[in-house]
Amino acid sequence: MFACRVSTNPAGRVSALRGLGQLPTSFSALCTRQPGVRSISTAVHFYQNRQLEEYASKPATRLTLRQLVFFGKSMNEERLIKSANYVRTELPIRIAHRLRDMQALPYVVVTQEGVAKVYELYWTAFDKFRRYPEITTLEENDAFCTFVRGLLNDHKSVIPNLSLGLSLSSPYLLPDRLDTFMRRMLVSRISRRVLAEHHIALTESVKSQGQSSQVQENVGIICTGLQVQDSIERCVRYLRKRPRDIDEDVFSGSLNDAEWSEVIVDGHKDTRFAYIREHLEYIIFELLKNSLRATRQKHPSVRVLPPIRVTVVASDNDVYLRISDQGGGLISPEIKSPSDLFSFSHVRNATRLADARLGALRTLSSSQQGMTATVSEQIGKWQRDSDGDAPAQGVNPHPRIGIGLPMSNIYATYFGGTLELVSLDGYGTDVYVRLPKLGKNLEGIEL
Ligand code: COI
């Protein structure tokens, strides 16, 4: 067994383990457990970097939502195989960028519970994609989809692991550095899952071509005529049926109307646009959940609770949603500014280091329950569980881990939208979501 010799240069980066001769294939084989170090299983990859350098030096080929739709609209065998090879060659580039980001973290962060696991998952996925042979036939594409589905499944625990590791690292990282790192990890993860799931959905649609006489509303995972009101109502119906998702402490059993704020939808109620339903419904679901919980807690002894109003507006370029509640606003002793709720740093948001939250993250990290299956699997599961009533959002009901708002913000901004919170302290909260409706913005930043 090797001893793990790691030193940190003045910039806080890992800079040791040179000259060890033949290197073992994983960090776990390299390291013994060090006092104060929780779990190390990765770093030899830090020194097998040639392939990684090559991929990390290539820029990601970012796409717009419109490109995803146009390319997927008239699918045939040739285009499907092109799509498969794009995913095969693009994902290792995007993963390589994130592996490089992780390598640049101070060593004390890499050793936190959860971080090593994510690094290992990404390294394995990178290596498998890099070695995957070119796809030339439909049969090979089927095998490729099975391979990608497996990785999507393996990566379900990434978010709880990453949230746990970075929360524990919060004392060692400046808030801006921590938040920038997390944002890039999360945006990039969404982008990779979108490309992978889109390709799988396109493959399924090619297979079912001719079997359905219905008008095709979906192109891959994009719903070309997504009805905003419909999505809001699905979220409301689902929350009504599952009050424990709103607040475990306050509700038990089914909600009756007296315990529940009415959700009123107004504005341009017939708005439709091309978007990923899973993303829109994730945002609406999380925001409504917060509003319902806050309103209930603010008015504990009121028989008829103040309503929550969702205003939908479509302009030439954007779709807007404003969700207004009377839940008392956002400012608390722990939160000084609404945007601190997006932060993963305990300096900005003290709840990040709360024991209950860390405990819930630990449970989720090890349970493999994870955060997101493929879109089609998720919809299938909801249909079985709740007669198709559930929203297409990617989070299984779970204890409060404080990820809903930052993730909603990241989903909203992924294709160039915005999410802003305005607290009317002591009265309520207005959340403004803007989503570009023409699909012309490139995905994310620095993928
Ligand atoms: C992720 O979910 O983190 C991924 O990178 C998925 C990809 C390997 C298909």
| Nearest protein Cα to ligand 1, atom 2 | 155
What lies within 8 Å, CB to CB, of 365 at 6+ separation is 113, 114, 117, 157, 160, 161, 164
CA of 152 relative to ligand 1 center, distance in Å = 5
Q: How far is the CA of 436 from the centre of ligand 1 (A)?
A: 25
Q: What is the reported pLDDT for 273?
A: 97
Alpha carbon distances (Å) from 433 to 41, 65, 195, 238, 259: 40, 18, 24, 21, 27
The pLDDT tens digits of the residues spanning 46-101 come to: 556 889 999 999 999 999 999 999 999 989 999 999 999 999 999 999 999 999 99
pLDDT at res. 338: 86
Q: What is the pLDDT of residue 212?
A: 54
Contact 259, 397 (CB under 8 A): no
d(CA 382, CA 386): 6
Number of other CB atoms surrounding residue 324 within 10 Å: 20
What's the predicted TM-score (pTM) here? 0.84
For residue 240, how many other CB atoms are within 10 A of its CB?
17
Question: What is the per-residue DSSP string for 220-270?
Answer: TTEEEEEEHHHHHHHHHHHHHH-GGGT-TTT--SPPPGGGS--EEEEESTT
Determine the distance separating the centroid of ligand 1 and the alpha carbon of 163, expressed in angstroms.
16
Token representation of residue 22: 């033949």
Closest approach atom of ligand 1 to CA 196: 9
Q: Pick the atom of ligand 1 nearest to 372's CA.
A: 2
Q: Which atom of ligand 1 is nearest to the CA of 94?
A: 5
Residue 374: predicted pLDDT: 36
| Residue 323 dihedral angles phi and psi, to the nearest 5° | -110, 115
| CA–CA separation, 445 and 443 (whole Å) | 7
Segments of the chain with pLDDT less than 50: 1-41, 213, 370-388, 393-398
Q: What is the pLDDT of residue 210?
A: 59
Residue 129, Cβ neighbours under 10 Å: how many?
22
Output the residue whose Cα is nearest ligand 1's atom 8. Answer: 151
Euclidean distance between CA atoms 42 and 25, whole angstroms: 9
| Residue 158: per-residue pLDDT | 93
Given the CA of residue 95, which atom of ligand 1 is nearest to it? Answer: 5
Q: b/e per residue, 37-62, with b = 16+ CB within 10 A?
A: bebbbbbbbbeeeeebeebbeeebeb
DSSP code string of 394-434: S--S----S-HHHHHHHHHHHTT-EEEEEEETTTEEEEEEE
Q: Which residues pair with 321 in a beta bridge?
A: 312, 433
- Ligand 1 centroid–CA 202 distance in Å is 18
Mutate to test the pocket of ligand 1, among 87, 132, 156, 192 (most ligand atoms within 8 A of CB): 192
> Radius of gyration over alpha carbons of the chain, in Å?
23
Ligand 1: centre distance to CA 282 (Å): 18
Q: What are phi and psi of 325, to 5 degrees?
A: -130, 170
Alpha-carbon distance of 138 to 120, in angstroms, equals 31
Distance 155 CA to ligand 1 centre (A): 6
Residues β-bridged to residue 421: 431
Residue-range domains of the chain with CATH: 60-207 (1.20.140.20), 221-436 (3.30.565.10)
**Which amino acid appears at position 265 of this protein?**
V
CA of 265 from ligand 1 middle (Å) equals 35
Residue type at position 32? T
Q: What is the DSSP letter of 336?
A: S
Q: Output the pLDDT for position 387.
A: 46
pLDDT value of position 47: 52
**pLDDT confidence of residue 59:** 95
> What was the ipTM of the complex prediction?
0.97
| Residue 122 CA, closest ligand 1 atom number | 5
Give the nearest ligand 1 atom to 158 CA.
3
